[in-house]
Amino acid sequence: MTHANAPAETPPRSTLVVTAHAGDFVWRAGGAIALAASRGEKVTIACLTFGERGESAKAWREGRNLEEIKAIRREEAEKAAAVLGAEVRFFDAGDYPLVASAELTDQLVAVYRETQPDVVLTHPVDDPYNGDHPAANRMALEARILAQAIGYPGAGDIIGAPPVFYFEPHQPEMSGFRPEVLLDITEVWDTKRKAMECLGAQQHLWAYYTDLAVRRGVQLKRNAGPNLGLAHTTMAEAFMRPFPQIAKELA
Ligand SMILES: [Zn+2]
């Protein structure tokens, strides 16, 4: 029996991931997603395109057509999201180029208001190798601002100010990426690797993103100091923070 004065049940923490292409959330934030999910948190991935034109070269070389490739990438991404413990939603907005639009941004506002994220993950501002990633960044940030505004129409409650983390681009130095947060993903590394292996269309990246996790792990250990009892091989993901961290004490 529910007591009339019982406090409302606190919903689990919510993470929203906004990505341009079907594989992006796996390579760049699969560890962060798996960690949150392993704690019982809710993770929603807003995947704006399937990466059907720009990030599916293997399938094109095999002679597949556009619709087949979209279906392949959707299936792969759904499997990967299930392995990580997240829900993925596709917007099929078309890649290469992904064009930022008011309509698509409005759809993201609805996702923000529905999921009420405590944390937002998306691409960094710059990527001179792939214009779709900055387009996704712009829409993710713009939708977050609009979703905060009581005057912006749409269903659902307005959101707070969830911290935003930019995940690591494929060409970090050229994209102005500097690790500001190193997240220890050692305990969910096997899960991330399994999710990566769902992406057969981009098999060439499995080894690369394994190496990157080792390298970021080495940097994490160097910055953590010797006494934290970290695993011999610590795996990590790097993030940037576009907005200031809020604190009551420096830690
Ligand atoms: Zn991408």
CB atoms within 10 A of CB 79: 17
Rounded Cα distance between 164 and 122, Å, is: 8
The length of the chain, given as a count of residues: 251
- The SS3 of residue 197 is coil
**What's the predicted TM-score (pTM) here?**
0.94
Angle between helices 132-148 and 102-115 (to 10 degrees): 60
- pLDDT digit string, tens, across residues 76-96: 999 999 999 999 999 999 999
Give the pLDDT confidence of 157-178 residue by residue, as tens digits. Answer: 999 999 999 999 999 999 999 9
Query: If pLDDT is split at 50, 70 and 90, which confidence band does 5 have?
Result: low
For 115-134, how does the pLDDT look when each residue is reduced to its tens digit (9 = 90+)?
999 999 999 999 999 999 99
pLDDT, tens digit, for every residue of 207-247? 999 999 999 999 999 999 776 677 678 999 999 999 999 99
Give burial (CB, 10 Å; 0-12/13-18/19+) of 160.
exposed
User: Residue 79: helix, strand or coil by DSSP?
Assistant: helix
The C-alpha atoms of residue 87 and residue 103 are separated, in whole angstroms, by: 22
Q: State yes or no: pLDDT of 103 exceeds 90.
A: yes
**Cα of 93 to ligand 1 centre, how many Å?**
13
Rounded to the nearest angstrom, the distance between the alpha carbon of 174 and the centre of ligand 1 is 15
251 pLDDT higher than 90: no
Kindly give the distance from the C-alpha atom of residue 47 to the centroid of ligand 1, in angstroms, as a whole number: 10
For CA atoms 21, 15, 190, 87, the dihedral sign is negative
pLDDT beyond 50 at 2: no
pLDDT value at residue 9: 79
C-alpha of residue 232 to centroid of ligand 1, in Å? 31
Q: How far is the CA of 163 from the centre of ligand 1 (A)?
A: 22
Ligand 1 mean position, distance from CA 136 (Å) = 10
149 alpha carbon – ligand 1 mean position (Å): 29
pLDDT at res. 225: 79
Q: Distance, CA 162 to ligand 1 centroid (Å)? A: 23
Distance between Cα 27 and ligand 1 center (Å): 9
Q: Give distance in angstroms: CA of 210 to centre of ligand 1.
A: 17
Ligand 1: centre distance to CA 217 (Å): 23
CATH superfamily assigned to domain 14-240 = LmbE-like (3.40.50.10320)
Kindly indicate the confidence band of residue 1, based on its pLDDT and cuts at 50, 70 and 90.
very low
Using the predicted structure, report yes or no on whether residue 146 has a pLDDT greater than 70: yes
